[in-house]
Amino acid sequence: MKAAAVTAVATPVLVGAASPALAVSEAPAFLHGVASGDPLPDGVLLWTRVTPTSEATPGSGRGPDVPVGWEVAEDRDFTRTVARGSVTATAASDHTVKVDVRGLRPATAHWFRFTAGDTVSPAGRTRTTPATDAATPGVRFGVVSCANWEAGHFSAYRHLADRADLDAILHLGDYIYEYAAGTYPDARYSVRQHEPKHEIVSLADYRLRHATYKTDADLQALHAAHPVIAIWDDHEFANDAWSGGAENHTPGAEGEWAARVAAAKQAYFEWMPVRASTEGTVYRRLRFGRLADLHLLDLRSFRSEQTGIGSGSVDDPERTLTGRAQLDWLKSGLAGSDATWKLVGTSVMISPVAFGSLPAHLLAPLAELLGLPQGGLAVNVDQWDGYTDDRKELLAHLTQRSVRNTVFLTGDIHMAWANDVPVKAATYPLSQSAATEFVVTSVTSDNIDDLLHVAPGTLSVVAAAAIKAANRHVKWVDMDNHGYGVLDVTAEQAQMDYYTVSDKTKADATTAWARSYRTRNGTQHVERVYQPVR
């Protein structure tokens, strides 16, 4: 196991650091930082974006081809270079560069940088995963989701960047938001404005929105410090996206949905350090020795329309959240895994939750936050609750095949939760728990106290108590705070430490540990722990 103490380190922009405020006339320039992602035992994906000339702004389609050199070293001074090469940045890829480097040593820290002409990029630090069959003592992830540019500053990213004890960052979706400026949140509560200011629809729009996010200093620091493993949720496309549309997509006025999705996916794969799967999606699998397999899901590309929007029933076996191929892939991967832990990155919550017992004055803001029908329906149909046949099949598979130590890692809901995942919620705890689930809150996106404009720990206390009373598998829920999680995995346990930030509207917000829950090997239950992993 790595050193137990959480050590702060300087953000590794070590060589030729380029400020986001650098004048474009000084191009070629690296105005959007550097990143790495999807680490393997022998490699990692590297990313940057070069601005070759002043007119080559993101989404413009302008600017010449430019050669970009890259190098990887095992020391921060680049005296032990282990790989180097060159690629060409073109307008066709919005002058983004992705390099899938192989031939590296497993379980090893590496530093990387790029060059364009005489300009040297910031340096980044990354880390390869353990060898496939290595007896890995531990692995530790930062876990985040739901970072709305207009709703606040990304100080949660900065605090994760400052940690020296993380193997990777797991981003569970809503990395960007598609809304027009002043829409979500209302302009009265916006901290800063999106670019472009209109709702993004075209390829140029999605490119510029991604580029805007990557000018944020805290986001650049996160990418420069750790490899990022990301999946998408709906806001990388449009709110409550499904395979044929979205809640805020109007055919005709905003074009065809298929064209919008294609544009969003192209921009995503250009601007994110993510490997596309064979289907051009993000469901894929990474391994961390014999300790953990990480199964990453795409719960937007193949899902049926939500019942709250169109027709149908949450229990209809013809409706799907995952799609048949992805569900079969997940079931096969879970049953066939020889890793101690089976981690599943899912953008929406799998644990069943009933909200009908809440008083009306709390159900209304929760309905807005969670996408519940305003009439007071008791389930969130955008989550696995809206696709119960897929969930029933998956949980039955876990129990029938005796798959142990499955932990779902979830974002989306702008709250922190610690749950058992029951086979039959109505009879729990007398019935079986098939898995456990840790849900992280949002980096900045609005939660209940933001929507109600009340002090944290007031109305939410009543709502949380009602939810726990009606859902006995829910061990904890925090409806107010923003922040991140740190998941520590050893052979004995998987523990999620929940951290909060002091004020999302302040660029210099501090962070503090809030709570911890763990699931011990073989139990399929979560339990409270009274201190974070050190």
Three-state SS letters, 328-359: HHHHHHHHHCCCCEEEEEECCCCCCCCCCCCC
E strand intervals along 219-307 = 228-230, 284-288, 292-296
pLDDT for 7 equals: 32
- Letter string b/e over residues 217-248, b meaning 16 or more CB atoms within 10 A of that residue's CB: bbbbbbbbbbbbbbbbbbbbbbbbbbeebbeb
pTM: 0.93
CA separation, residue 392 to residues 195, 229, 352, 389 (Å): 42, 28, 11, 5
* Helix or strand holding residue 264 (H, E): helix 257-271
Q: Which helix (H) or strand (E) holds 385?
A: none
- pLDDT value, residue 457: 81
pLDDT confidence of residue 369:
65
C-alpha 493: how far from its chain's center? Answer: 22
Beta bridge partners of 494: 489, 519
CA dist., res. 296 & res. 46, Å (int) = 19
> Pairing state of beta strands 44-49 and 34-37?
antiparallel
* Cβ atoms of 421 and 434 closer than 8 Å: yes
10-residue stretch averages of pLDDT, the chain, 534 residues long:
34 38 66 98 98 96 97 98 98 98 98 97 98 97 98 98 98 98 95 97 98 98 98 98 95 95 98 91 97 98 83 84 97 98 98 75 67 56 93 97 98 96 92 97 93 81 86 94 98 98 97 98 98 92
Helix (H) or strand (E) holding 364: helix 360-370
The predicted structure's pLDDT at residue 314: 87
Q: With CA atoms as reference, report the closest residue to 308 among 384, 407, 383, 382.
A: 382
pLDDT at 94: 98
488, HSE (Cβ side, Cα atoms, 13 Å): 21
